[in-house]
């Protein structure tokens, strides 16, 4: 990883602080526009979330949020698959994510955010496969559930469950807040708090 595309020392420092504290981390990832920032805000409406740091890059950054009462961190990974991204930017995204996912011993799960209106995409499946290959538990989440009919939602759940060996994604909406409490329960369960 070149320092020009992403500030690696800062990320390394952040990861080593959390590792020393043995603090559990759960990463959030998804295609750009999947609703990740909205979901972080929705989660924060139900619980105290403190943004502790960001590792700036030219176009992307990793944000760490400490869940104050439970003592674990949510790690907001940069969105992927943005149509206007150059090949080089895609590569630097992949390197950054792979670096994070393979250098975080206290990582307890990867929450994979999936738009409930969009059928499974290659980039999402690649990330799921990468996580599985590295023994990282997956927590699939269907975002924007308010925009889907019941039929569409269960279709997506079935499709993903087939691809993820029976793991059923959790529907959430940052707009009407459905599923947000259930998501907090899952996050706590994975974090072990
Ligand atoms: P990010 O790129 O993944 O961080 O996505 P954003 O959180 O910025 O959301 C992208 C767009 O989807 C914005 O226009 C949001 O208002 C919209 N959006 C996000 N979450 C929801 C949701 O749960 N329901 C609805 N209806 N729209 C949403």
pLDDT score at 9: 73
Q: Mind listing the pLDDT tens digit for each residue in 95-115?
A: 888 889 999 999 999 999 999
Question: The tokens of 128 are what?
Answer: 């799921």
**CA–CA distance, 51 with 153 (Å, rounded to integer):** 32
- C-alpha distances out from residue 112 to 69, 126, 132, Å: 24, 11, 12
For residues 188 and 56, which has the higher predicted lDDT (pLDDT)? 188
- Ligand 1 centroid from CA 145, angstroms: 11
- pLDDT of res. 56: 54
10 Å Cβ neighbour count for 52?
Answer: 13
Compute the distance between CA of residue 184 and CA of residue 49 in angstroms, rounded to an integer: 12
Could you identify the residue written with the tokens 């999947």?
34
Report the C-alpha gap between 36 and 39 in whole angstroms. 5
Q: Write the residue with the smallest CA distance to atom 2 of ligand 1.
A: 33
Distance from the CA of 1 to the center of ligand 1, in angstroms?
30
What ipTM is given for this predicted complex? 0.99
For the segment 46-98, what is each residue's pLDDT rounded down to a tens digit? 887 777 666 554 446 788 898 988 889 999 998 888 777 778 878 878 888 88
Per residue in 130-166, pLDDT (tens digit) is 999 999 999 999 999 999 999 999 999 999 999 999 9
Answer yes or no: are the C-beta atoms of 98 and 130 closer than 8 Å: yes
Residue nearest to atom 28 of ligand 1 (CA): 144
CA angle 113, 79, 9 (to 5 degrees): 120
For residue 185, pLDDT over 90 is answered with yes
pLDDT band at 5 (very low <50, low <70, confident <90, very high): very low
Give nearest CA residue, ligand 1 atom 15.
35
Taking the CA of residue 41 as reference, the ligand 1 atom at the shortest distance is: 7
User: What would you measure as the largest C-alpha separation in the chain, in angstroms?
Assistant: 47
Atom of ligand 1 nearest to the CA of 145: 23
Q: Which among 96, 87, 85, 29 has a CA at the least distance from the CA of 57?
A: 96
Is residue 191 within 8 A of residue 108, CB to CB? The reply is: yes
């Amino acid at each position: 990883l070149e320092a020009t595309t992403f500030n690696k020392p800062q990320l390394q420092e952040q990861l080593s602080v959390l590792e020393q504290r043995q603090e559990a981390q759960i990463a959030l990832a998804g295609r750009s526009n999947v609703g990740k920032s909205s979901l972080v805000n929705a989660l924060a409406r139900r619980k105290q979330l403190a943004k502790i740091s960001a590792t700036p890059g030219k176009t992307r950054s990793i944000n760490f949020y400490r869940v104050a009462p439970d003592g674990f961190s949510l790690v907001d990974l940069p969105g992927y698959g943005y149509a206007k991204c150059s090949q080089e930017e895609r590569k630097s995204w992949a390197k950054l994510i792979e670096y994070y996912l393979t250098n975080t011993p206290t990582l307890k799960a990867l929450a994979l955010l999936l738009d409930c209106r969009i059928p499974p995409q290659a980039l999402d499946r690649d990330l799921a496969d990468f996580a599985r290959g590295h023994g990282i538990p997956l927590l699939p989440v269907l975002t924007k559930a308010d925009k889907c009919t019941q039929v569409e939602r269960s279709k997506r759940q079935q499709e993903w469950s087939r691809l993820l060996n029976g793991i059923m994604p959790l529907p959430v909406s940052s707009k009407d807040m459905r599923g947000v409490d259930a998501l907090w329960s899952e996050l706590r369960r994975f974090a072990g708090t």
